[in-house]
Structure 1
């Protein structure tokens, strides 16, 4: 049924040069609540003039911000972290409305940790390291400078809206860059509010937020004023951004899709291990680039682990944020629901669904926790990033076979190894082709440690001092002495 004109959902604006502005394109897209499938708000469909305005603002602000002392930038970013905590309830409510997650969990697991990561990078900006200045050639003194790159376009996903925005802007701003941030089309509200909060502290134009769809992202990525393009998103999106930006040889920072394996040996505590893996697989409805979606189990304990995973999965129930008994919320959008359902529909006769495998309820993009056995390495559900509440289980006989299965996908973001044999765990950590290896745990992050992948999972690191370095140029300055 069409919505009457007087009951249309509210329209959002972009946030450019310290102010909220309507899109010059005059276009908006209707965004639906993933729990109810009803229109919730209208988000700008930004086009060329909107992108130009934001890029001009960021370019104009770069001179002052990029040349400011690190101590001044650090103090302002610390103040921004405090402001994020002060507005945690409001920011969490916006993300809850856009994603269907509970407010309390958002505050504890995303908003407060994001502020901590911002504080870490604000401090790190004052202590960047490099080679010692000195005479490496006779009668010449060399100095290495780290300088900001310039205007950074940053495109963030819908699975952790506010936290992913902070992961991106924190190192860029700390290093002295200015930012044009494009949040995911379906989850822009917390990023826009972050821009408003930041505008009370940062100079106009340092942080701009432009909303839109894939075409908006393309316009930003190819814009001549963009010095660096950063994306957290799917491998497909990463390839497109790389192709769009490649002609101009722009700097790229790509944190792309994952397909994490949890390798379980036969010397573990089965109930405890299965419980931890199930939690790591089903967190956020499996919409996590490091979700433990592929479980590789030694054949000696395969049936026991499967039974525990099924039991755990059946104890999880999806539901809206107001449901105290729900373990996770909906998939974010209709396309993602179709993707997950398509992977299930594409299973061959060799695969067996032990629980779930279907949409949950008649309204909203909810999907039942699912466990599938009998899958083969070449199956799409193994080779593609699921990004849904699905666990596949594959048996192995030897360590070499387990390693081949774990590495035998195009992505390389993260894996975990579950064993009491410390030497074996370290050998696997060495031989796994991914950017993060957890041992007897999964989905645990530290602001001080890097996050980023190998292979189809992209390049570049979020978090840690490594992320700060990603947003700098290295310059050698040599002086001839008398």
Structure 2
């Protein structure tokens, strides 16, 4: 298995100089995959310096040149797709079926998409919006981007950070999670093989408190892009006031089932939407609000489906659900479920660490909870585990109100066969994405990003290029005259009031002299 532990700086792998080490562990077994020194301040400086130098040339490349290289990059990724899937499965604890059918092909498709998007930067048509001027919009790269990506989708998040940045002509230094850095390094290395110049893409590995802090605070980083928890996102925003920011933060997605919904479709969707990536997904279904006529049957069917989910070795194609990322995360999820039960909620199924799991692993059973209160921790706070809470509602107004009743606004879904209900839900649910009769699918052509405490800015799609470009208005006079018509609103020049005779000239001079004395 590919296991290079180093940093990727200026087009090559180098050893870090930081005093501390990070360890990558397979959460399905507890086995150590790789250990290496984390990037210190000097390593971050070297990466930013490389990106700064590379920006001088890369920022001036044509969209066509960038497009060609990114297209080759997609080809390089396709050539190592199986290896990427295996490494992603091991480091992140993902079932091999998920990495093979979702993570890796999604990343390759996203790369191919940005090969095309690089040539289609949008702007208002050049025209004479003023009769005397031609206006043109320029989209210009920002400079060096400092990005921090999470551990739940290491490869895809690396792609979401890097691709729009470099497609727009920026250079980048990415810090992946120290828990899952391997496929981010592979992604950068594939870019170099495709011909993308040294220094355009750099990857530094280490903890947020050390490597991440050094990157975010670096004087030569022009923009910070962060995906992770809301508290950390807020801390980053406070630490770099005035700097360009892109934040994709937490979520607590509602799953609203109206009484005219297809019950089986909703139950199947709830299980898939809540358990994807073992629930470690900011857009995962976490709060199922079900209109009362369907509520009991929905709970029964979801519990039945959850009990059939197969936990197992991540390299087994028959495995449905892998482990949580770490023992710490396993204990965090278990503690939240235990507190919910202690406060009066009912654990319908799951709610415990499975017996017989390998020592050192971090599995947790698919869990369905009912009878929680709307203001409880399990309903309001992000669990980031395979846990779904189901609550009933009576009226449509109540269902939408409950869906909006958290600080988050990343994603949501509504389940109904009624056109009017679907339209109302899509309008009134406050989230960056609202699915109708499905939950989770993403596509490269459409944006991903949230509202409220879920952050701001977009990943994927051409909308993400707005985050990584400066918009410049260039306005060019087309009259060729020295004195413009609007000048008279500021001063009455000679062309407006030229003195017709000697007496007028004398009075004009006297007036100017008095004005000068007053000044």
Which TM-score tier does this pair reach, normalised by the shorter chain?
over 0.9
Which of the residues 350, 357, 361 maps onto 2:351?
A: 357
Instruction: Tell me the residue number matched to 1:49.
Output: 42
Q: CA distance change for structure 1 residues 296 and 244 in 2, over 3 Å: closer, same or farther?
A: same
Which of the residues 240, 248, 254 maps onto 1:245?
A: 240
Instruction: Tell me the residue number matched to 1:330.
Output: 323
Which of the residues 384, 388, 395 maps onto 1:387?
A: 384
Which of the residues 412, 415, 435 maps onto 2:412?
A: 415
Instruction: Tell me the residue number matched to 1:145.
Output: 138
Offset, 1:29? 1.8
Which of the residues 404, 417, 426 maps onto 2:401?
A: 404
2:158 equivalent to 1:165: yes
Distance 1:408 1:186 in 2: 33
Which of the residues 245, 249, 253 maps onto 1:256?
A: 249
Map Cα deviations across residues 64-121 of structure 1 (whole Å, 9 max, x no partner): 0011000000000011011111111111111111012233431221111211112112
Instruction: Tell me the residue number matched to 2:421.
Output: 424
Distance 1:197 1:68 in 2: 20
Distance 1:79 1:230 in 2: 25
Offset, 1:26? 4.0
Distance 1:196 1:237 in 2: 29
Which shifted more, 100-109 or 278-287? 100-109
Distance 2:94 2:411 in 1: 24
Matched residues, number? 472
CA contact 2:261–2:415 (8 Å) conserved in 1: yes
Instruction: Tell me the residue number matched to 1:474.
Output: 471
Q: CA distance change for structure 1 residues 104 and 351 in 2, over 3 Å: closer, same or farther?
A: closer
CA contact 2:227–2:247 (8 Å) conserved in 1: yes
Alpha-carbon RMSD across the aligned residues, in angstroms, is: 1.5
TM-score (norm 2): 0.89
CA contact 2:416–2:437 (8 Å) conserved in 1: yes
Which of the residues 14, 38, 51 maps onto 1:21?
A: 14
Distance 2:31 2:61 in 1: 46
CA contact 1:121–1:468 (8 Å) conserved in 2: no
Instruction: Tell me the residue number matched to 2:127.
Output: 134
Instruction: Tell me the residue number matched to 1:449.
Output: 446
Structure 1: any 5+ residue segments left out of the alignment?
A: 1-9
Offset, 1:196? 1.4
Distance 2:4 2:264 in 1: 49
Offset, 1:232? 1.3
Instruction: Tell me the residue number matched to 2:506.
Output: none
TM-score (norm 1): 0.95
Distance 2:448 2:32 in 1: 35
Instruction: Tell me the residue number matched to 2:307.
Output: 314
Which of the residues 221, 224, 233 maps onto 2:219?
A: 224
CA contact 2:123–2:137 (8 Å) conserved in 1: yes
Structure 2: any 5+ residue segments left out of the alignment?
A: 481-519
Structure 1 counterpart SS, 2:293: coil
Map Cα deviations across residues 203-230 of structure 1 (whole Å, 9 max, x no partner): 1000000001112111111111111111
Instruction: Tell me the residue number matched to 1:7.
Output: none
Structure 2 counterpart SS, 1:95: helix
Spell out the pairing of 1:65-104 with structure 2 (5 A cutoff). Answer: 65-104=58-97
Offset, 1:369? 0.5
Offset, 1:480? 2.1
Q: CA distance change for structure 1 residues 193 and 324 in 2, over 3 Å: closer, same or farther?
A: closer
Distance 1:138 1:275 in 2: 60
Instruction: Tell me the residue number matched to 1:436.
Output: 433
Distance 2:460 2:148 in 1: 16
CA contact 2:19–2:40 (8 Å) conserved in 1: no
Instruction: Tell me the residue number matched to 1:6.
Output: none
Which shifted more, 456-465 or 232-241? 232-241
Offset, 1:39? 2.4
CA contact 1:257–1:413 (8 Å) conserved in 2: yes
CA contact 1:43–1:185 (8 Å) conserved in 2: no
Distance 1:223 1:338 in 2: 35
CA contact 1:74–1:122 (8 Å) conserved in 2: yes
Which of the residues 276, 279, 295 maps onto 1:283?
A: 276
Structure 1 counterpart SS, 2:240: helix
CA contact 2:174–2:204 (8 Å) conserved in 1: yes
Offset, 1:324? 4.3
2:51 equivalent to 1:58: yes
Instruction: Tell me the residue number matched to 1:205.
Output: 199
Which shifted more, 19-28 or 451-460? 19-28
Offset, 1:38? 3.0
Distance 1:138 1:75 in 2: 39
CA contact 1:320–1:330 (8 Å) conserved in 2: no
Instruction: Tell me the residue number matched to 1:105.
Output: 98
Distance 1:93 1:265 in 2: 40
Distance 2:383 2:139 in 1: 39
